[in-house]
Structure 1
Amino acid sequence: MKDVQVKNNVKVRRIEIGSLTQGDLAKLVGVTRQTMNLIEAQKYNPTIKVCLLIAAALDTSIEKLFWMEEEV
């Protein structure tokens, strides 16, 4: 299997909504603002549970927020 990287649109979706800060989203999900910052910066891959909680908080599907890309 080739190396893959998990990518996300969490920051884009959060900004689209317009009413949630990183801190607000972090509280809804049950993580720290620093963890949310790392997730949005593609530097931390959250657990599936956190991914599902983020999707619910952002009123979207997990498939629209997270995907895998092959590393080049």
Structure 2
Amino acid sequence: MAKLTITNNLRRLRFDANEMTQKDLAEKVGVTRQTIVAIENAKYSPTLELAILISRVFGKPLEEVFNIDDAA
């Protein structure tokens, strides 16, 4: 099975949310700014719990925040 890549729209969503900073988002979901940076850069896949918390911050369904790129 090919490895799946999780992509996200965090940067755009932060911008649309009154230019929310990475630090602001991190504080809202209880992680470090570095964790948000790693997620945005697809270096780290969030846990399901964290992904749900992030989607709730933006008031968006999970599928509008995170996507799975399964093209091999």
The answer, yes or no, to whether TM exceeds 0.5 is yes
Name structure 2 gaps, 5 residues minimum.
Answer: none
In the alignment, what sits opposite 2:63? 63
User: Which runs of structure 2 are paired with 1:1-72 in the superposition (5 Å)?
Assistant: 1-72=1-72
8 A contact 1:3–1:71 mirrored in 2: no
Is 39-48 or 1-10 further displaced after alignment?
1-10
**C-alpha displacement of 1:70:** 2.2
AA aligned to 1:44 is Y
Structure 1 distance, partners of 2:25, 2:69, is 25
State the Cα deviation string for residues 4-37 of structure 1 (Å, max 9, x = none).
2111101111111124210000000000001101
Separation of aligned partners in 1, 2:16 and 2:70 = 27
Cα distance per residue 1:47-72 (max 9 Å; x no partner): 00000000011111111011111254
Gaps of 5+ in 1: none
Q: TM-score, normalised by structure 1?
A: 0.89
Q: What root-mean-square deviation, in Å, do the aligned CA atoms of Structure 1 and Structure 2 show?
A: 1.3
Aligned length: 72
